[in-house]
Structure 1
Amino acid sequence: MMTNLFSSFDPSSNLFSIPLNWTSTLMTILLIPLSYWIIPSRMMILWNMISMNLHNQFKILILPNKISGTTMIFISLFSFILLTNFMGLFPYIFTSSSHLVFTLSLSLPLWLTFMIYGWYKNTNHMFIHLVPQGTPSILMPFMVCIESISNLIRPGTLAVRLTANMIAGHLLMTLLGNTGPLLINSMLILQILIFIQLLLLTLESAVAIIQSYVFAVLTTLYSSEVT
């Protein structure tokens, strides 16, 4: 039962021995050319409002001495993860954000870039972060170990957080969807099941937005610590 349940996340669809599951991630790029229209649509006006709000929030998190336009990196990251999460809510579309291969490929290069830049440009500042202010002298060696471990596991926690949240909701929806054919004789229970599925779909839409926002905000906070 568990093997069949988790097999719904396996990238197994193919055409002429060519795997097609990961193309769901590339399908989000099809939405980008809409921003090049001379007269923006209502969707683009809404998206520009969201981008400006994100820009103002990220600008507060990033220190003033950062390079101009840095917030666009994290807005693009938020947009990409959000669209990828929403694509996975449609039937028969592979959810790439539910795999660690996808989430680690986002978090690990960003974290490595921040670490390399921080230790090369601001070495003393990075050493200061290993010992919080006010730490007693006897606890300093332990705090260095704890802070180093917490710093090293950051890309893993970013990746696992996004993957686990996307998998949890999809698994619950899969369980309820597989239960439907067994209750076909009871229309009342079937209607209740459909209503619960709609509620779960609404919840998953909220989770898709929240998790992409959390991923972008945490990445912004990590970048602000290296300067």
Structure 2
Amino acid sequence: MALKVKDRAKPKIPPVEPGVYIAICVGALDLGEQYSEKFKNYRNEVQFVWELCGETVEVDGEQKPRQLSRIFSVAASKKSNLRGFISGWNGVQYSDDQFADLDLFTQVGKACQLNVVLNDTGEYANVDSAIPLPKGMPGPVTDTAPILWNTDEWDDKAFETLPDWVREKIKKSTQYQQMHAPTDAVDFPTDNIAVPPGVEAVPPSGEECPI
């Protein structure tokens, strides 16, 4: 009998082939304020999830719809990746005011042509861009329940229904850390604390310092 590490590791799911896919958005997730290792600062992030029509993958012995996702920093400037991506997806050149007022949850349920590329090692498939479906082409449908989450409108029950990988990401947000910071005061005993040689003991609260 043996228990080897390689026998316990789950096989890596191979990436989809690069190319253009008909897809439908099934999730828009506010990930809260996240720390960027690349830029060394905090920024609000949103993640979109798409289902690739006609593509499946085996997960735990069951065939499930193939999904891809992409995370964006939430920024309204014309140069932001989010604004460029949404503009291409919806086929709209937004004004500053129009884009600032856009409800990102309305993207859920919208179909698109999704351009998928592989990373430099060929291990991962990444969503590069999106454009509308050809004119007259019927939109795809899905049985997948939409995933919507707004970190600023926290709901414990809704949070527990999110996929594990989403919850783990949200737990890294500053909002989650602040909401779950310890609030109980901790009393530390001050009696009989040994004072190192040469260091004057601090008088108890309420007593004057001798110097």
Structure (1 or 2) with the greater helix fraction:
1
TM-score band, normalised by the shorter chain? under 0.3
Q: Which has the higher contact order (CA 8 A, sep 6+)?
A: 1
TM-score of the superposed pair, with normalisation by structure 1 = 0.21
Q: Please identify which structure carries the higher strand content.
A: 2
Q: TM-score, normalised by structure 2?
A: 0.22
